[in-house]
Structure 1
Amino acid sequence: MISNFRGIRAIYQFEMARFGRTFWTSLMLPVITTALYFVVFGSAIGSRMTEVSNVPYGAFIVPGLMMLTMFTESISNASFGIYMPKWTGTIYEMLSAPMSPLELLVAYVGAAATKSVIIGAIIFATAHLFVDVQIAHPLLMAAFMVLMAVTFCLFGFIIGIWAQSFEQLQVIPMLVIYPLTFLGGAFYSLDMLPAAWRTITLFNPVVYLISGFRWTFFGQGDVGIGVSMGAVSLFLALCLAVIFWMFRTGYRLKN
Structure 2
Amino acid sequence: MNFEAVKSIYTFEMARMRRTLLQSVISPVITTSLYFIVFGTAIGSRIQTVEGVSYGAFITPGLIMLTLLTQCIGNGSIGIYFPKFTGTIYEILSAPVAMTEILLGYVGAAASKGLIIGLIILATASFFVDIRIAHPFMMVVFLVLTAVTFSLFGFIIGVWARNFEQLNVVPMLIVPPLTFLGGSFYSINMLPPFWQTVSHFNPVLYLVSGFRWSFYEIADVNPGISLAMIGFFLLLCLSVLGWMFKTGYRLRS
Deviation of 1:149 (Å): 0.5
Over residues 85-109 of structure 1, what are the superposed CA-to-partner deviations in whole Å (9 max), with x where a residue is unaligned?
1011111121122121111111100
Partner of 1:146: 144
4+ residue runs of structure 1 moved beyond 3 angstroms?
Answer: none
Q: Gaps spanning 5+ residues in structure 2: where?
A: none
Does residue 112 (structure 1) correspond to residue 114 (structure 2)? The answer is: no
Aligned partners of 2:178 and 2:28: how far apart in 1? 20
1:64-143 alignment, distance < 5 Å: 64-143=62-141
- Identify which of 31, 48, 57 aligns with 2:29: 31
> Residue type of the partner of 2:112?
T
Deviation of 1:163 (Å): 0.4
Partner of 2:178: 180
Does residue 58 (structure 1) correspond to residue 53 (structure 2)? The answer is: no
Aligned partners of 1:139 and 1:201: how far apart in 2? 27
SS in structure 1 at match of 2:32? helix
Aligned partners of 1:239 and 1:174: how far apart in 2? 20
Partner of 1:229: 227
% of aligned pairs identical?
61
Over residues 186-239 of structure 1, what are the superposed CA-to-partner deviations in whole Å (9 max), with x where a residue is unaligned?
100010000111011111111111101111111120001100000000000000
Partner of 1:164: 162
Over residues 42-99 of structure 1, what are the superposed CA-to-partner deviations in whole Å (9 max), with x where a residue is unaligned?
0000000010011111000000000001101000001000001101111112112212
- Are the counterparts in 2 of residues 180 and 206 from structure 1 also a CA contact under 8 Å? yes
Over residues 82-138 of structure 1, what are the superposed CA-to-partner deviations in whole Å (9 max), with x where a residue is unaligned?
001101111112112212111111110000000000000111111111001000011
Q: CA RMSD in A?
A: 0.9
SS in structure 1 at match of 2:117? helix
Aligned partners of 1:219 and 1:63: how far apart in 2? 12
SS in structure 1 at match of 2:96? coil
Aligned partners of 2:154 and 2:231: how far apart in 1? 16
- Are the counterparts in 2 of residues 101 and 244 from structure 1 also a CA contact under 8 Å? no
> Residue type of the partner of 1:48?
R
Q: Gaps spanning 5+ residues in structure 1: where?
A: none
- Are the counterparts in 2 of residues 30 and 122 from structure 1 also a CA contact under 8 Å? no
- Identify which of 4, 11, 14 aligns with 1:6: 4
Aligned partners of 1:26 and 1:206: how far apart in 2? 23
| Range 138-147 or range 79-88, more displaced | 138-147
Query: What is the number of residues matched between the two proteins?
Result: 253
> Residue type of the partner of 1:222?
D
Does residue 42 (structure 1) correspond to residue 43 (structure 2)? The answer is: no
> Residue type of the partner of 1:123?
I
Aligned partners of 2:161 and 2:22: how far apart in 1? 28
